[in-house]
């Protein structure tokens, strides 16, 4: 089993990419309300700030700022993934048989016959400076354009770009 060495920085600002096991799925946008509920419940128990976030059909990108003295983003992601997975199963929205995908997801003790909804791991990058932060926030905003879902970042409904008073002006090079 791999042993990942992660920075042990408290109060860090971190960029994440989190993906569904089935990359052809649209579960995250189809069930955006359940995802929002999972994030909201997790934030209530283990606070963090969402600096930027975009939800696409099969994956999401976000930038979080953890509270001072706290570095435990792994438990937060485990809680979000677990809450979302449980809600999807309770709603009868179990993904189609995907035995070829293996037993991914947050719960290695899945009941026999269940399929993991999430990829086991996620990708994270600790933000180093203001320029790094701006680049990762911009990456969140332009990602729906990059994937061909919309022509402009502000046209994507599941993005924190809408929290800004004015939409940032993006050059074609930003979205190409």
Each of the 176 residues of the chain gets a pLDDT tens digit; together they read 566 666 778 889 999 999 999 989 999 999 999 999 999 999 999 999 999 999 999 999 999 999 999 999 999 999 999 999 999 988 888 654 444 444 444 455 455 445 689 998 899 999 999 999 999 999 999 999 999 999 999 999 999 998 875 555 555 555 54
- The CA-based angle 41-58-80, given to 5 degrees, is 15
Give the pLDDT score at 9.
80
Tell me what pLDDT residue 151 has: 95
Residue with tokens 């953890």: 66
Residues 6+ apart with CB under 8 A from 21: 95, 98, 101, 102, 104, 105, 115, 116, 117, 118, 119
Quote the distance between the C-alpha of residue 165 and its chain's center. 23
- Structure tokens given for 76: 């937060």
Q: Which residues of 95-118 are buried (b: 16+ CB within 10 A; e: fewer)?
A: beeeeebeebbbbeeeeeeebbbb
Could you tell me if 75 and 46 are in contact, meaning their C-beta atoms sit under 8 angstroms apart? yes
Alpha-carbon span 172 to 128, nearest angstrom: 26
Provide the token pair at 38: 């999972």
How far apart CA 13 and CA 123 sit, in angstroms, is 14
Quick check: 13 and 63 in contact, CB under 8 A? yes
Q: The pTM is what?
A: 0.82
Q: 169: Cβ–Cβ under 8 A, 6 or more apart, which residues?
A: none
- CA 97-77-54 angle, to 5 degrees, is 85
């Amino acid at each position: 089993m791999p042993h990942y060495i992660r920075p042990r920085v408290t109060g860090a600002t971190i960029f994440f990419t989190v993906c569904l096991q089935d990359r052809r799925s649209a579960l995250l946008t189809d069930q955006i309300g359940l995802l929002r509920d999972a994030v909201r419940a997790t934030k209530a128990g283990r606070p963090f700030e969402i600096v930027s976030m975009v939800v696409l059909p099969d994956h999401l990108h976000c930038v979080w700022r953890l509270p001072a003295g706290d570095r435990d983003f792994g438990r937060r992601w485990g809680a979000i993934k677990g809450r979302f997975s449980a809600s999807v199963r309770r709603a009868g929205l179990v993904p189609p048989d995907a035995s070829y995908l293996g037993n991914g997801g947050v719960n290695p003790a899945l009941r026999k016959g269940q399929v993991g909804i999430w990829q086991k791991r996620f990708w994270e990058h600790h933000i180093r400076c203001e320029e790094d932060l701006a680049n990762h926030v911009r990456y969140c905003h332009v990602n729906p354009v990059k994937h061909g879902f919309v022509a402009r970042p502000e046209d994507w409904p599941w993005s924190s770009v809408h929290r800004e008073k004015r939409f940032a002006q993006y050059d074609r090079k930003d979205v190409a």
